[in-house]
A and B are shown apart, each in its own frame.
Chain A
Amino acid sequence: MELNVIDSGISRRILVHDWFLDDDNIVPRVVEQYLRTDLPCGLKDCKSCTLPKYSALEPRNEALAKVAPFKHTIIMDIPTMTRFVDLLEDDHIDNAVIIQTHWEHLSTTNPQIARKIDKILKGGEKHLAFLMNDMMEGTFVNPEDFESKEEELHHKLIVAAGFLKKHWESLDIKPVIVVSTDEAKEAFLKDYEFVTTVGEYVDSMGDKADLALRIQYLLKQEDTGPSIYPEYLQLNDVDQGLAAGKYQKGAFRVSPENYLEATVSFGVDYAESWFIQGRVSMNRACQGDIVVVELLPKDQWTLPEKVLRMREADEEMEEESAYMAETAAETAEPASKKAKKTPKAAAKPAADDEFQPLPTARVVAVLKRNWRDYCGLMLPSFQADGTDGLFSAFDKSIPRIRVEDPLYQEIVGKIVVVAIDDWPVDSHYPRGHLIQIIGNNGDQAAEEKMVLMEHDIRYEPFNANVLACLPKMPWVPNPESFRKDLTHLDICSVDPEGCTDIDDALHCVKNADGTYEVGVHIADVTHFLRPGTAMDNEASLRSTSVYLCGRRIDMLPDLLSSNLCSLRGGEVRYAFSVVWQLNEDSDVIKAEFHKSVIKSRAALTYQKAQEMIDDKKAKDSISESLRGLLHLSKKLKAKRFRDGALSLASSEIRFDIDPDTGTPLAVQEKKHLPTMSMVEEFMLLANVSVAKRIYEEYPDFAVLRRHPIPPKEQYEPLVRAADALGFKIDPSTGKTLADSLDKAVDPSNPVVNRMLRMLATRCMTQAVYFISSTMTPDKFLHFGLAAPLYTHFTSPIRRYADVMVHRLLASAIGADELHKEMLNKIWLIKQSDIMNYRHKKAQYASRASILLHTYLMIKGLENEVLEAFIVNIRKNGIQVQIPKYGLESIIFFTKSFSKERRNEDFVDYAKLNIRPFQKVKVSVSMVEKNLRRRVEVKLIEPKVDCVSADADVAAY
Chain B
Amino acid sequence: MDIDLSETEKVYTVDGIHQGLRADGRSLMDFRPVIVEFDVLPNTHGSARVRVGGTDLLAAVKLSMRQVKDTTDFSNRVDFYVTCSAVASPNFAGKQGDECAHRVASMLRKAYRNDLIIPELNKLKLSNDRYFQTKVDILILKYDGNALDAASMAAKAALSDMKFVVPTMIARDGGKTVPQLPDKARSQVQGLDVATAPVIVTLNTVGDSIFVDADLHEEQCVGSVVHVGIIPQEDQPDKMETDDDEDCYITLLKNTRPQTFHQEKFNDLLGAGVEAAKELNRAIMQRIEEHRREPVKKSMMHPRLETFMR
Complex CA–CA separation, A19 to B189 (angstroms): 10
Which of chain B's residues has its CB closest to A2's CB?
Answer: B304
The reply to whether B173 and A26 contact each other, CB–CB distance below 8 Å, is no
The reply to whether A19 and B43 contact each other, CB–CB distance below 8 Å, is no
The reply to whether A26 and B179 contact each other, CB–CB distance below 8 Å, is yes
Which of chain A's residues has its CB closest to B168's CB?
Answer: A236
**Which of B172, B180, B186 is close to A18, meaning CB atoms less than 8 Å apart?**
B186
Given the interface pairs A1-B302, A25-B64, A243-B172, the reply to whether A7 lies near B43 with Cβ below 8 Å is no
Expressed in whole angstroms, the minimum distance between the Cβ of B187 and any Cβ of chain A is 5
The reply to whether B181 and A240 contact each other, CB–CB distance below 8 Å, is no
The reply to whether A21 and B305 contact each other, CB–CB distance below 8 Å, is no
Q: Which residues of A contact B42 (CB under 8 A)?
A: 15, 17, 28, 30
The yes or no answer to A312 lying at the interface (CB within 8 A) is: no
Complex CA–CA separation, A19 to B188 (angstroms): 10
Complex CA–CA separation, A146 to B187 (angstroms): 8
**Which of A1, A2, A3, A19 is close to B181, meaning CB atoms less than 8 Å apart?**
A19
The reply to whether B45 and A28 contact each other, CB–CB distance below 8 Å, is yes
The reply to whether B179 and A21 contact each other, CB–CB distance below 8 Å, is yes
Complex CA–CA separation, A27 to B186 (angstroms): 12
Which of chain A's residues has its CB closest to B64's CB?
Answer: A25
Interface string of B13-39 (1 = CB under 8 A from A): 000000000000000000000000000
Q: Which residues of A contact B63 (CB under 8 A)?
A: 25-27
The reply to whether A240 and B171 contact each other, CB–CB distance below 8 Å, is yes
Q: Which residues of B contact A19 (CB under 8 A)?
A: 165, 181, 185-186, 189
Within 8 A of A (CB), among B165-206: 165, 167, 170-173, 178-181, 184-187, 189
The yes or no answer to A105 lying at the interface (CB within 8 A) is: no
The reply to whether A20 and B181 contact each other, CB–CB distance below 8 Å, is yes
The yes or no answer to A239 lying at the interface (CB within 8 A) is: yes
Which of chain B's residues has its CB closest to A145's CB?
Answer: B186
Expressed in whole angstroms, the minimum distance between the Cβ of B131 and any Cβ of chain A is 12
Q: List 30 A-B contacts (CB under 8 A).
A: A1-B302, A1-B304, A1-B305, A2-B302, A2-B304, A3-B304, A3-B305, A3-B307, A4-B307, A5-B307, A6-B308, A6-B309, A7-B310, A15-B42, A15-B298, A21-B180, A23-B65, A24-B130, A24-B179, A25-B63, A30-B42, A143-B186, A147-B184, A147-B186, A236-B170, A239-B170, A239-B178, A240-B171, A240-B172, A245-B173
Interface string of B147-181 (1 = CB under 8 A from A): 00000000000000001110100111100001111
The reply to whether B43 and A148 contact each other, CB–CB distance below 8 Å, is no
Which of chain A's residues has its CB closest to B63's CB?
Answer: A25
Expressed in whole angstroms, the minimum distance between the Cβ of A156 and any Cβ of chain B is 15
The yes or no answer to B306 lying at the interface (CB within 8 A) is: yes
The yes or no answer to A244 lying at the interface (CB within 8 A) is: yes
Complex CA–CA separation, A27 to B65 (angstroms): 10
**Which of B44, B171, B180, B187 is close to A28, meaning CB atoms less than 8 Å apart?**
B44
Q: A24-B130, A240-B171, A240-B172 are in contact. List 11 more A-B contacts (CB 8 A).
A: A1-B303, A3-B304, A5-B307, A24-B178, A24-B179, A25-B63, A26-B165, A27-B45, A146-B186, A236-B170, A236-B180
**Which of A1, A23, A147, A244 is close to B172, meaning CB atoms less than 8 Å apart?**
A244
Query: In the complex, how many residues of chain A place their beta carbon closer than 8 angstroms to a beta carbon of chain B?
Result: 33
Complex CA–CA separation, A6 to B308 (angstroms): 5
Complex CA–CA separation, A26 to B162 (angstroms): 13
The yes or no answer to A144 lying at the interface (CB within 8 A) is: yes
Binding site for B on A (CB under 8 A): 1-7, 12, 15, 17-21, 23-30, 143-144, 146-148, 236, 239-240, 243-245
Q: Which residues of B contact A144 (CB under 8 A)?
A: 186
Binding site for A on B (CB under 8 A): 42-45, 63-65, 130, 163-165, 167, 170-173, 178-181, 184-187, 189, 298, 302-310
Q: Which residues of B contact A28 (CB under 8 A)?
A: 42-45, 163
Which of chain A's residues has its CB closest to B133's CB?
Answer: A25
Expressed in whole angstroms, the minimum distance between the Cβ of B185 and any Cβ of chain A is 4
Q: Which residues of A contact B172 (CB under 8 A)?
A: 240, 243-244
Expressed in whole angstroms, the minimum distance between the Cβ of A239 and any Cβ of chain B is 7
Q: Which residues of B contact A23 (CB under 8 A)?
A: 65
Which of chain B's residues has its CB closest to A12's CB?
Answer: B304
Expressed in whole angstroms, the minimum distance between the Cβ of A18 and any Cβ of chain B is 7
Given the interface pairs A28-B44, A30-B43, the reply to whether A7 lies near B309 with Cβ below 8 Å is yes
Expressed in whole angstroms, the minimum distance between the Cβ of B135 and any Cβ of chain A is 12
Complex CA–CA separation, A6 to B65 (angstroms): 41
Nearest 8 A/B pairs, CB to CB: A2-B304, A30-B42, A19-B185, A24-B65, A7-B309, A4-B306, A25-B65, A21-B181
Q: Which residues of A contact B303 (CB under 8 A)?
A: 1-2
Q: Which residues of A contact B173 (CB under 8 A)?
A: 243-245
Complex CA–CA separation, A143 to B45 (angstroms): 19
Which of chain B's residues has its CB closest to A149's CB?
Answer: B184
Expressed in whole angstroms, the minimum distance between the Cβ of B149 and any Cβ of chain A is 29
Expressed in whole angstroms, the minimum distance between the Cβ of B8 and any Cβ of chain A is 43
Q: Which residues of A contact B308 (CB under 8 A)?
A: 5-7
The reply to whether B305 and A26 contact each other, CB–CB distance below 8 Å, is no
Which of chain A's residues has its CB closest to B163's CB?
Answer: A28
Given the interface pairs A19-B165, A21-B180, A28-B42, the reply to whether A5 lies near B186 with Cβ below 8 Å is no
Expressed in whole angstroms, the minimum distance between the Cβ of B66 and any Cβ of chain A is 9
Complex CA–CA separation, A30 to B40 (angstroms): 12
Expressed in whole angstroms, the minimum distance between the Cβ of B308 and any Cβ of chain A is 6
Complex CA–CA separation, A304 to B186 (angstroms): 52
Q: Which residues of A contact B298 (CB under 8 A)?
A: 15
